[in-house]
Amino acid sequence: MLFALAITALVLAPVVVTFSSFMRIEGDILGHLTEFVLPELVVNTLWLVAGVGIGVTLLGVSLAWLTAMCEFPGRRVFDWALLLPLALPAYVTAFVAIGLLDFTGPVQTWLREGWGLTGLPEIRSRGGVILVMSLALYPYVYLIAKNAFATQGAVALEAAQSLGLSRWQGFFRVALPMARPWIAAGLMLALMETLADFGTMATFNYDTFTTAIYKAWYSLFSLDSAAQLASILIVFVLVAVVFEQRSRMKMRYGAVGRGAASRRLRLSAVQAALAFAYAASVLAIAFLIPVAQLAWWSYGVIETDLDSRYWMFVGHSLLLASLGAMLVVAVALLLAYAGRQRGGQAMVWIQRLATLGYAFPGAVLAVGLFIPVAALDNWLIDTGRAWFGFDGTEILKGTLAVMLAAYLVRFLAVGFGPVDSGLHRITRNIDEAARNLGLSAGGLLTRVHLPMLRASLLTAAALAFVDIMKEMPITLMTRPFGWDTLAVRVFEMTSEGEWERAALPSLALVVAGIIPIILLTWRGSRDAH
């Protein structure tokens, strides 16, 4: 409990900093935004959230069902390959999609010049943003839903069929409702990331609530107004989280059994071909084509840009992501566990608040974290100077500890989602049985829960790892001098619009990000057998 409070306090520091901006209201800026900017972008944001919500759910659930429950050609490869888009930052997918499909791109040029076709749908549009974000973020739903289907789908479906339901009825009336907490966990992650996204929206020039936050800060020079808008966004997310949790609070979920792998659904030849075509096109559009484009661009700059420092960038990225992922998973486990042991309304709120960092626009969170750290540092330095004649400008700032703490605040939700929903799947009966057999609380965790949670923990670690690899604003703000990473390289290139040169670090990011995904599926598949 104390620990949970400490973590919440850490997350709340930037929240408090952000909300404290309400003490300094700049009426003219807020008035302007309310009159000319907000009406349209609230509509834009709602469309985006609804569209991406539907998009990631359809893609994620259908692909998870196919790979977890059915047999079709290439299923073993798709099983892990469909996770790969996670390693690709969404703005990269966006940039490639626009590059290929816009008026000036090869597709439209060919259609126009070869066939005289014009008036094609515009990729730089609401539909285009929703499509790209859905393709970039569906793996969150896919990964978590696949776990749910793999561990309980077959048995549930058999039970349903034995009660006389058809396959489709079994899916919609039994398997899908049973997987709901997991799907919801993935969906929340995807939507929080959508709301906080800036890079993709900037590439599409699509105005959302978050782009208005940056407009207030960077263009109208009002960090306070930006923080106020961010606070409204956070409250909105919190309300959505509460609403979502309430709606399924009365339900209880437990595992029905295991052993999906041995009894996959047989698909007819046509169905199998369709399944293959579907999975293959999602993979191609969301991953293979963007990566091929990145590789092509990288090839052009490799001679000038690839130097020995790249190993250092890769090393820094991998080190930060692994340390960060371990920290996130450890804390997420403790937090979820505290909830299981204690329960109660207070604990639910602690968990909700502790995972809010993911909904912040990245740079706002970075500043919200930096301000208290700098304040503490100033106090320490002044004290040090008065007492010991300390001569320096940094104590906490510019240390890896601060950087990792910042990642924890940002990505705790990414770890908490899978771990908590995994923990929910372990019924109370198991705990009681274990206790009756004489296991202590510690023994229960290490000998019963941890082995049962292994897949969830790996999922959490992999998600946190790739997210930290891709993270930009916190890395930029809190990195020690000289601690440049691949994401920092991407920033250096894109800040002056040099997209082709940004391809090389992006590609390196993807390659490094694939490692945990492969590890994850390798361990995961070993678990399943």
Partner 1 sequence: MNAPFTRLLAALALSALTLPALAEEITVYSARNEQLIKPLFDAYTKETGVEIKFITDKEGPLMARLKAEDKNTPADVLLTVDAGNLWQAGEEGLLRPIKSKVLNANVPAHLRDPDGEWYGLSVRARTLVYNTSKLKPAELSTYEDLANPKWKGRLCLRTSKKVYNQSLVAMMITEYGEGKTEDIVSGWVNNLATSPFPDDTKAMEAVAAGQCDVTIVNTYYFGRLLEKQPNLPLAIFWPNQALKSKAAGVHVNVSGAGVTKYAKNPAAAQKLIEWLSSEKAQNLFADVNMEYPVNPRVKPDPKVAAWGSFKPNLINVKEAGSLQAKAVKLMDRAGYK
Residue with Cβ nearer partner 1 (83 or 365): 365
Buried b (16+ CB within 10 A) or exposed e, 56-90: bbebbbbbbbbbbbeebeebeebbbbbbbbbbbbb
By C-alpha distance, which of 439, 446, 457, 423 is closest to 527?
457
Looking at the Cβ atoms of 397 and 449, the one nearer to partner 1 is 397
Closest CB to partner 1 among 116 and 442? 116
Provide the H-helix boundaries in 197-222: 199-204, 209-214
For partner 1, which is the closer residue by CB, 22 or 172? Answer: 22
Q: Classify residue 379 as exposed, middle or buried by CB count within 10 Å of its CB (0-12, 13-18, 19+).
A: exposed
- H or E segment at 302? helix 289-305
Strand (E) or helix (H) holding 70:
strand 70-71
Closest CA to 369 of 24, 17, 19: 17
Min dist CB 334 to partner 1, Å, is 19
Judged by beta carbon, residue 271 or residue 399, the one nearer partner 1 is: 399
Cα Rg, the chain, nearest whole Å: 24
Tokens of 503: 């391809």
CB of 374 to partner 1, least distance (A): 4
> Which residues sit at the interface with partner 1, rule CB under 8 A?
29, 32, 36-37, 98, 102-104, 109, 122, 124, 202-205, 207, 211, 214-215, 217-221, 223, 363, 366-367, 370-371, 374-378, 380-382, 384, 388, 390-399, 401, 473, 476-477, 479, 481-482, 484, 488, 491-493, 495-499
CB of 28 to partner 1, least distance (A): 9
CB of 496 to partner 1, least distance (A): 6
In the numeric block, which tokens belong to residue 105?
């791109």
Q: What is the 3-state secondary structure (H, E, C) of 108-177?
A: HHHHHHHHCCCCCCCCCCHHHHHHHHHHHHHHHHHHHHHHHHHHHHHHHHHHHHHCCCCHHHHHHHHHHH
CB of 245 to partner 1, least distance (A): 34
- Shortest spacing between CB 217 and partner 1, in angstroms: 5
The smaller minimum CB distance to partner 1, of residues 73 and 99, is found at 99
CB 501, min distance to partner 1, A: 8
Instruction: Tell the smallest beta-carbon distance from residue 393 to partner 1 (Å).
Output: 4
Neighbour count for residue 47 (Cβ, 10 Å): 16
Instruction: Output DSSP code: residue 394.
Output: -
Residue 188 vs 365, nearer CB to partner 1: 365
Is the CB of 396 or the CB of 518 nearer to partner 1?
396
Nearest CA to 225 out of 234, 214, 235 is that of 214
